[in-house]
Amino acid sequence: MGRSPCCDEIGLKKGPWTPEEDQKLVKYIQKHGHGSWRALPKLAGLNRCGKSCRLRWTNYLRPDIKRGKFTAEEEQTILNLHAILGNKWSAIANHLPGRTDNEIKNFWNTHLKKKLIQMGFDPMTHRPRTDIFSSLPHLIALANLKELVENHSWEEQAVRLQTEVAKLHYLQYLLQPPNNNFSMPNLDMDTLNVLNSLPSAFSTKDHTHNPNNPVLNSSSLDSPNPFDSIHDHLPDLKSIELQTNLISKVNNNNENISNNNNNDDNIGVVTNIHGQDQVVYQHQPCEFTVLTQGENSPTSPWLPSSPSPPPVTATAATSSAPLDGSTTSTTPSSFWADHLLLEDSLFHDIP
DNA sequence: AACTTCCGCAACCGCAAGATG
DNA sequence: ACATCTTGCGGTTGCGGAAGT
């Protein structure tokens, strides 16, 4: 299992190949086959090591190599296979005729990986990223930071960035896998206050027209979403805008909600988690209600989900929190569930 | 137009495992 | 069984062109 000494030889050329060298290599292999790579350079009249010749041939000169941009189908294949195989580039290359492992690896590192990160997915696990800071690129994209930096003071920028962080906390909550026992991330008072007081990406009022309050919608994510087939259990973020429309209708048809929500900033999200529709409302500071439909019928009432999510806990982290370090918690209210009844027509109105 | 920064890609490096004597 | 050679693979580097300032 020793290492090949060929690359250690002194005086052998390195770096980019010239057309003349390529020609020599191709001519030799076409006539004799490559045989022993170690012996090849001398026989072919090349001042290269065998390894360099092998790489040049397998990654570039081989006649069956397909060059040019990756097609959408190839991209999809790479994503699907990578989700299963990981960084097994040669194994992935076996499924893409004419593509080399090196080419696929480069394509992954320069395009697909970044794309996944931008979409808020962990490029290794292909799942939504769970650590808040690793999701910042996505947040920044959402927040249209360029506009923010150009047109707002640093204080405003800080507040808005914090808002997006709060939103992400909330998104994390929605995106949790099934075995996670509905745990809500601990939010400090600042985060909660921001979440409670500022317009949300899911706000029913400003999701369409306010350019300063960007919305997570289908255009935020690249379409088509390549993970639909792999992560069917995740909420369908692509239709979040459509879902927001539904929330808006729910609000309009349930006076209790709008009347009790003075600032019109209640967060309402319809998600489909594990095949079950859920409506999540933030209707009071530090209070969320997760409603699920009692039966699989559009007309059945929406009730607090069972088991209910734990109370949202606010840690005493700022001056607005109790000074004794205690935590405050509230339980999801069933009040809204009692008054929230989705009508069949609501569903039919959705485009 | 000149300079800097960013990005994509070809090529290199080094490890691991199979093949061979 | 062991040492050496060969090949395959994945990670990383650095060059050159494109884009931005």
Provide the residue-wise pLDDT of chain A in tens; the chain has 351 residues: 333 334 455 678 888 899 889 889 988 888 888 888 888 888 888 988 888 998 999 888 988 888 888 888 888 888 888 888 888 888 888 888 889 989 999 998 888 888 887 777 777 777 776 554 544 555 544 544 444 444 555 555 555 555 555 455 444 444 444 333 333 333 333 333 333 332 332 222 222 223 232 222 223 333 333 333 323 322 333 333 333 344 444 444 333 333 333 333 333 444 444 455 544 443 333 333 445 544 444 445 445 443 333 333 222 222 222 222 222 222 222 222 222 222 222 222 222
In terms of Cβ atoms closer than 10 Å to its own Cβ (0-12, 13-18, 19+), residue A137 is: middle
Is any atom of nucleic acid chain C found less than 7 Å from the CB of residue A59?
Answer: no
**A51 Cβ within 7 A of any nucleic strand C atom:** yes
Does nucleic acid strand C have an atom less than 7 angstroms from the CB of A33? no
Q: Which nucleotides of B are covered by protein (CB under 7 A)?
A: 7-19
Q: Which residue is nearest to nucleotide B8 (CA to C1')?
A: A110
Please report, rounded to whole angstroms, the spatial distance between the CA atom of protein residue A219 and the C1' atom of nucleotide C2: 62
With a 7 Å cutoff on the CB, does A106 touch strand C?
A: yes
Full-model pTM: 0.47
**Nearest nucleotide relative to A54: CA against C1':** C7
Alpha-carbon gap, residue A71 to A323, rounded angstroms: 59
How high is the pLDDT of residue A328? Answer: 27
Q: How far is it, in rounded angstroms, from Cα A34 to Cα A168?
A: 55
Helical spans, DSSP H, in chain A: 19-32, 40-44, 50-56, 72-85, 89-93, 101-107, 113-118, 136-143, 145-151, 154-175, 189-197, 240-253, 255-259, 335-339, 344-349
**Straight-line distance from CA A65 to C1' B10, in Å?**
15
Q: Is the CB of A17 under 7 A from strand C?
A: no
A241/A235 Cα distance (integer angstroms):
13
In this structure, the protein residues whose CB atom falls closer than 7 angstroms to any atom of nucleic acid strand B are A 1-4, 7, 13-17, 51-52, 55-56, 59-60, 102-103, 105-107, 109-111, 114
- In angstroms, the CA of A316 and the C1' of C11 are apart by 45
